[in-house]
Copies of this chain bind each other. A is one copy, B any other.
Amino acid sequence: MKVPPEIISFLKEEDKFFIATHINPEADALGSSIALSMALESLGKETVVYDRDTVPEFCRFLPGYERFIHSTSNLQPSSFNLVLLDCNTPERAGIDGIPFKYSAVIDHHETETDFGNVKWVEPDAAATGMMIFYILQELGIKMTKEIAINLYSAIAIDTGTFRYSNTTAEVMRVAAELVEAGAKPAFVSNSLYETWSEGRFHLLLSALHTLEIKDNVAFTFVTQEMFKKTGTNAEDTENFPGFPRRMKDIKVSAFFREIGENHWKVSLRSKGEINVAEIASRFDGGGHRNAAGFRIKGSLESAKETLLNQIRQLR
């Protein structure tokens, strides 16, 4: 993986950076942002780190997560250079219309757009954290323990701790270097996966009980009612879409989360060659080949049927 020289020049020549990532952030978005902020500040630059949404509970183990601000009201964006991480449109970060000096995009999602004065979009990168790792190397940044934990977490979440097909020998070598620099795999995994509340555990059970299988597609869902009953919220459904994939015969897992009356957020997970990013894009969603999402209106039954028809067409 080769960092485009214009990305390095941009980061070297400019002095003030507004690092922003996508709404509903997870550990790749957050860890990459914090790591880049720490690195640029070690070079004497000024940075702010922005996410429209708050840092979810299960990511508050990332050293430096307090850096995130959630409003631009106290600063003058036009004096900052935007660095958009792990997404490639201002809309995905909830900052459309805000004028910045220059804009850079660093992302590994497939759905590329025109936005950005300089950009590095690398769908083959397992995580944006991998791209930041190489940028830091090019910039000659000393790998601190704090940066290592952030980048290790970014890579761990986006490879499912080295389970997905994006896990290459290179990914494992970078992970080894980050462990050497102080990231503790068990600490990161425990923090990411083993900090559930009891309510969340019961929510998972309820969700799995809604399992319905049609044409090798597994459907599960959670409703607002189920959240209320277990004292949980949307953030607690992280990882739920992947569960039905454990079954040998399941090719696609579709997880429906009720976000309003007859309104659903659908998360897709697939195995092997089935490209769910393509399916999601037909509903104006996006993502990666094996993990993508979109929103859909209508009754649960009709939404399921519409999706199933799209999946059938793909085959």
- Residues of A with Cβ closer than 8 Å to B? 160-165, 167-170, 172-173, 175-177, 179-180, 184-186, 189-190, 193-198, 200-201, 205, 208-209, 211, 213, 244-249, 271
CB contact under 8 A between A193 and B161, given known A168-B179, A173-B173, A177-B169: no
Cα–Cα distance between A165 and B186 once the two chains are bound (Å) = 5
> Binding site of A, secondary structure by majority: helix, strand, loop or mixed?
helix
Residue of B nearest to A176 (CB): B172
Contact between B194 and A248, CB atoms less than 8 A apart: yes
A162 and B164 form a contact (CB under 8 A): no
Q: Which of A175, A205, A244, A271 has the most CB of B within 10 A?
A: A175
Copies of the polypeptide in the assembly: 2
Q: B164 to A246, Cβ gap below 8 A?
A: no
Q: Give 17 A-B contacts (CB < 8 Å), ordered by A residue.
A: A160-B189, A162-B189, A163-B186, A163-B193, A165-B186, A169-B180, A170-B176, A172-B173, A172-B179, A172-B185, A173-B176, A194-B248, A196-B247, A198-B247, A201-B208, A201-B211, A201-B246
B246 touches A194 (CB 8 A): yes
> Would you give the shortest CB distance from A274 to chain B, in whole angstroms?
13
